[in-house]
């Protein structure tokens, strides 16, 4: 293989996707409960996405950001009209979106206060990306090893500890970044009371609140974005993964009072807002915002949750069920790697994060009968590993 050895890849060559299945070179079908790590919200072969990509590719694949193009404007309008934000910047990935959010927060604070107000607080077990700045913001030591020196200006708070956070909010802090649900950290949910108190503290001290919704956004947790189900409005929000419907696309969004801090020359991205990726993004969002789509998804998600809770009640090898919408997890009392391997052999794609948490991120189009297939598999595997 000529690829760098940066992924623990399984020996399967995927060549096609249909509905909620991936298909390998031998024709074997895999029911996908990972959806490209929350990237394919409408599964595979969605005709609306396919047609949007083909039509845009025929007309214009790329033009520099010195010019306006139609689909980025359309996608930005869809995002602004359906969120609390006023302005959008398009990037290629979630990490790049978070980098832009950091720059925006620091410039806003420098303009309003002074150059030393530049510290960004993140949380333990968080994950914000693989670039040096987003890696530093990631509150997991295992990701930092070998990459020192890391950039300055980042501090970590214990996830969910409002008292600890309050002691950290001095006049050097410009922003707090948090995932409403930590995905890579193990499907850890930020409790509503904690988020409400955090927002109150941030507002009192004019500290910007950044929601990293790279994984939780675009319908994943049951709302268009997770913050909408909490009852608070962040000042800045980042998005990616499902935003492009399978194509590389990220974004950070901000309220106008913050967004106006950036002026020409402050930030940029050669491929950000690519017309083809944005055409796909428009197709995704238009579908998810169709009347009844999220209601139907939430009904299926509740069914999935109930079935997973039944397993948690049945088997002592499960420590805890966690999750919202179709971002669900089972924390085990044992390592979860073998479950993932066995699932592949049975034609199922699942994921394990933080060593012991089985993570389920199926397409938002997953069906109850497909969930039953996974539950049957998990029941059998858990039974084999349970203590009599």
Segments making up each domain of the chain, as ranges: 14-32+292-385, 47-288
- Mean per-residue pLDDT for 203-231? 98
- Mean per-residue pLDDT for 304-310? 98
* % of residues, the chain, pLDDT over 90: 96
In tens, the pLDDT along 25-50 reads: 999 999 999 999 999 999 999 999 99
Which overall architecture, per CATH, does domain 14-32+292-385 show?
A: Alpha-Beta Complex (3.90)
Q: In whole angstroms, give the CA distance from residue 94 to residue 205.
A: 27
- Which residues have CB under 8 Å from 123's CB, separation 6+? 139, 156, 157, 158, 159, 160, 178, 179, 182
In tens, the pLDDT along 51-77 reads: 999 999 999 999 999 999 999 999 999
Fold category of 47-288 in CATH: 3.40.640
Average pLDDT, the chain: 97
Full-model pTM = 0.97
Task: Assign 3-class secondary structure to 238-294.
Answer: EECHHHHECECCEEEEECHHHHCCCCCCCCCCCCCCCHHHHHHHHHHHHHHCCCCHH
In tens, the pLDDT along 318-337 reads: 999 999 999 999 999 999 99
| Predicted local distance difference test score (pLDDT) of residue 280 | 98
């Amino acid at each position: 293989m000529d690829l760098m050895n940066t992924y623990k890849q399984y020996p399967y060559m995927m060549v096609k996707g249909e509905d909620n299945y991936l298909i390998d070179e031998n024709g074997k079908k895999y029911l996908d409960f990972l959806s490209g790590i929350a990237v394919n919200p409408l599964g595979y072969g969605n005709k609306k996405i396919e047609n949007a990509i083909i039509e845009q590719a025929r007309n214009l694949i790329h033009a520099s950001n010195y010019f306006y193009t139609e689909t980025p404007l359309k996608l930005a309008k869809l995002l602004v009209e359906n969120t609390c934000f006023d302005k959008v910047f398009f990037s290629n990935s979630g990490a790049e979106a978070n980098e832009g959010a950091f720059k925006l927060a620091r410039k806003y604070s420098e303009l309003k206060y002074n150059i030393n107000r530049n510290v960004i607080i993140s949380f333990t077990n968080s994950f914000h990306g693989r670039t040096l700045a987003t890696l530093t913001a990631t509150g997991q030591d295992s990701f930092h090893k070998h990459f020192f020196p890391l950039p300055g200006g980042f501090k970590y708070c214990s996830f969910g500890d409002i008292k600890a956070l309050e002691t950290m909010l001095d006049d050097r802090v410009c922003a707090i970044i948090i995932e409403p649900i930590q995905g890579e950290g193990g499907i850890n949910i930020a409790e509503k009371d904690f988020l409400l108190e955090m927002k109150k503290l941030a507002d009192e001290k004019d500290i910007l609140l950044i929601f990293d919704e790279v994984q939780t956004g675009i319908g994943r947790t049951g709302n268009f974005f997770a913050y909408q189900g909490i009852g608070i409005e962040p000042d800045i929000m980042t998005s990616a993964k499902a935003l492009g419907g399978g194509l590389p696309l990220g974004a950070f969004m901000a309220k106008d009072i913050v967004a106006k801090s950036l002026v020409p020359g402050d930030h940029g991205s050669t491929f950000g807002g690519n017309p083809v990726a944005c055409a796909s993004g428009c197709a995704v969002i238009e579908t998810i915002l169709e009347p009844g789509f999220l209601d139907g998804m939430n009904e299926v998600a509740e069914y999935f949750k109930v079935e997973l809770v039944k397993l948690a009640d049945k088997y002592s090898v499960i420590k805890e069920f966690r999750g919202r919408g179709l971002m669900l997890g089972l924390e085990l009392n044992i390592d979860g790697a073998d479950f993932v391997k066995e699932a592949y052999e049975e034609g199922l794609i699942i994921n394990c994060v933080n060593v012991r948490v089985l993570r389920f991120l199926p397409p938002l189009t997953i069906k109850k009968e497909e969930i039953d297939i996974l539950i049957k598999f998990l029941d059998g595997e858990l039974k084999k590993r349970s203590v009599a």
